[in-house]
Amino acid sequence: MIDLHNHILPGLDDGSSSLAVSVEMARVAAADGITHIACTPHISPGVYNNDFAAIRDALQVLLKAVNTSQIEIGLSIGADIHVVPDLVECICSRKAPTLNNTRYFLLEPPHHVCPPGLSSLVENCLSRGYVPIITHPERLAWIDYHYDALCEMQNAGALLQVTAGSISGSFGRRARYWSERMLEEGRVDLIATDAHHFERRPPILSRARDIVSRRMGERMASRLTLENPGAILADKRVAANGVLADVPVP
Ligand SMILES: [Fe+2]
């Protein structure tokens, strides 16, 4: 399995607090059957002022430590990029890293309000050749009122990433309801852990994968935890909602 949303890098955000915690997270992930992690700390101006250079440097340190600890896991650069007015410029100028330097990047909308310009921001990114992966829509407080808007963004070419813990029930009934509904409606493009620690919010994908496999079949489980994330890492096209997103590589 491939996990494209993980706060494993130490000391950059509210995820791992130390290199030892990060190494333990890598160990737990590898034991769960995860072979590759995109390291995606928050980028949120004024809160987490991370940029490409800071994330790259932290990734190098973790790569070395994981290697020394003989943990078999691949690590790539990435970021969990909050909605900001100059988002497109941050990505185009490589101030904010995309996932493994591909056309795909994690876009984290605000949890409590749907920003009025979100759709046009997504369209703007797509028109510049970048594909936003909207993180954990099932956990957003405003999904009840704006689910249609999320579907429209996906129809336009954005991807939707659901949290593994929402499917397995760690985020409560509401997140489980939306993750199940989105799965049934074919709205989930990939599942990721959004891990922050090895025990609290751990990097575990297998539980959600097993649930999807039982309910929707092995093919779908594999698609959401391996094939689609793998295509993203390789900068290949991903079938979004049954329609191939044909976006030129920037
Ligand atoms: Fe996150």
Give the distance (Å) from ligand 1 centre to CA of residue 218.
26
pTM: 0.94
Give the distance (Å) from ligand 1 centre to CA of residue 46.
17
Averaged confidence pLDDT in the chain: 94
pLDDT at position 238: 87
pLDDT at position 212: 97
The per-residue pLDDT for range 61-70, each reduced to its tens digit, is: 999 999 999 9
Give the distance (Å) from ligand 1 centre to CA of residue 153.
20
Which architecture, in CATH terms, is 2-244?
A: Alpha-Beta Barrel (3.20)
Distance CA 197, CA 48 (A): 18
Q: Which sequence spans correspond to the domains of the chain?
A: 2-244
The pLDDT confidence band at residue 171, using thresholds 50, 70 and 90, is: very high
Give the environment of ion ligand 1: residues with CB less than 5 A. Answer: 80, 194
The per-residue pLDDT for range 82-109, each reduced to its tens digit, is: 998 889 999 999 999 999 999 999 999 9
pLDDT at position 184: 95
